[in-house]
Structure 1
Amino acid sequence: MALVLAVPLAGCSVFQARPVQHGNKADPDLLAQLVPGVQTQADVQALLGSPSATGTFDPGTWYYISSVSRMQPGSNPSSEKERVVVMRFDEGGVLRDIEQRGSDTMRDVSIVDRTTPVPGTERTLLQSLFGNIGRVGAGGLGSEQGPGSGPGR
């Protein structure tokens, strides 16, 4: 009887895991305090903390990336409330632009599952069968060199 009652309750929020915050969440109240053309990089960092990432080719672009995920039993973690705040600074370090992006403006990027072949790592059948025949010093046999060996000893 308890099992019959537990199955419908499995979808209730009582059995869901707590949400977990990832990244550096830029609080909307703190973002409202920033005025483009007035604040500098030091001001933004003092208010919001360090950015999650900076631009690869433009260090004057800062990204504050955050998401909330929830672990569902028997499945992969689901990500919700994804948000990216992009801040652009001029050469003098003054804030020029603030842009907010949500999950509705993000693109899904699929991962390509390929490997790059490395020349010389593939062996033929004959190399596999006869590869060690004729190697000089195979296994260290016949060489008695060590710390106390050598000419005159």
Structure 2
Amino acid sequence: MRAVSGKLAKIGVLAPLALAAMGLGGCTTVRDHRGFFVDTALVDSVLPGVDNKMSVERTLGRPTLASQFGDQDWYYIATDTKQLAFRRPQPTAQTILRVRFDAKGNVLGVDRAGMEKVARFNPDKDLTPTLGRKRTFLEDLFGNIGTVGAAGMGGAGGAGGGRPGPNGS
């Protein structure tokens, strides 16, 4: 009987610890990779004046996006993010690889960019600044009362409240 009660006492001590460990497990950081997987050996093998669009596609794969206007550029984008529980993902590393082509489809150059191209901004208290005056919730709700059907605004009685319109009809 004592052996059973001793085991129950140990379980009674370990159960809260196990629950706490499972609860803290939900607070771990989630790391994710999005987009192109950068292989430096393959990227370095793309040479200006030697490669063309077909050989670049065979080497690096299809681009993440291609320019629609102007110069013929292909973009390969890779982003690493981390996310704490219940928060938005934050970028930790980014690589933008741009392959420039001439009019014949031959490689002109390969450019790289990193985290300096990530735009960071903080909205101001979830408000969008607008021009004009600030209105309260009640002014927004009841602001149109009395303006609908006012004289000259196309209210009851036809165009202009029974008066002839601009063309005399």
Q: Quickly name the TM-score band, shorter chain normalised.
A: 0.5 to 0.7
User: Is 1:66–2:86 an aligned residue pair?
Assistant: no
Aligned match for 1:16, one of 20, 29, 36: 29
User: Is 1:29–2:44 an aligned residue pair?
Assistant: no
Q: Is the 8 A contact 2:149 2:156 kept in 1?
A: no
Aligned ranges 1:84-99 → 2 under 5 Å: 84-99=96-111
Q: Which has the higher helix share?
A: 2
In structure 2, how many angstroms separate the alpha carbons of the residues matched to 1:16 and 1:88?
37
In structure 2, how many angstroms separate the alpha carbons of the residues matched to 1:40 and 1:115?
49
**What is the percent sequence identity of the aligned residues?**
19
The one-letter amino acid of 2:43's match is L
Unaligned regions of 5+ residues in structure 1, if any? 117-121, 137-153
In structure 2, how many angstroms separate the alpha carbons of the residues matched to 1:34 and 1:135?
75
Secondary structure in 2 matching 1:47: helix
Per-residue deviation, residues 51-75 of structure 1 (Å, max 9, x unmatched): 1122242251111111011221132
Q: Give 2:166's aligned residue.
A: none
Cα 1:57–1:109 shift into 2, 3 Å: farther
Q: Give 1:125's aligned residue.
A: 145
Cα 1:126–1:26 shift into 2, 3 Å: same
Per-residue deviation, residues 30-84 of structure 1 (Å, max 9, x unmatched): 1121111111011111211111122242251111111011221132112112110
Aligned match for 1:108, one of 110, 114, 119: 119
Give the TM-score, by structure 2 length. 0.57
In structure 2, how many angstroms separate the alpha carbons of the residues matched to 1:29 and 1:42?
18
Secondary structure in 1 matching 2:55: helix
Which has the higher Rg, Structure 1 or Structure 2?
Answer: 2
Give the CA deviation at 1:128: 4.3
Give the CA deviation at 1:115: 7.1
In structure 2, how many angstroms separate the alpha carbons of the residues matched to 1:90 and 1:106?
25
In structure 2, how many angstroms separate the alpha carbons of the residues matched to 1:93 and 1:102?
26
Give the TM-score, by structure 1 length. 0.62
Secondary structure in 2 matching 1:65: strand
Aligned ranges 1:131-142 → 2 under 5 Å: 134=156
Secondary structure in 1 matching 2:117: coil
User: What is the total number of aligned residue pairs between the two structures?
Assistant: 127
- Which contiguous aligned blocks of 4+ residues in structure 1 show a shift greater than 3 angstroms? 109-116, 127-131, 133-136
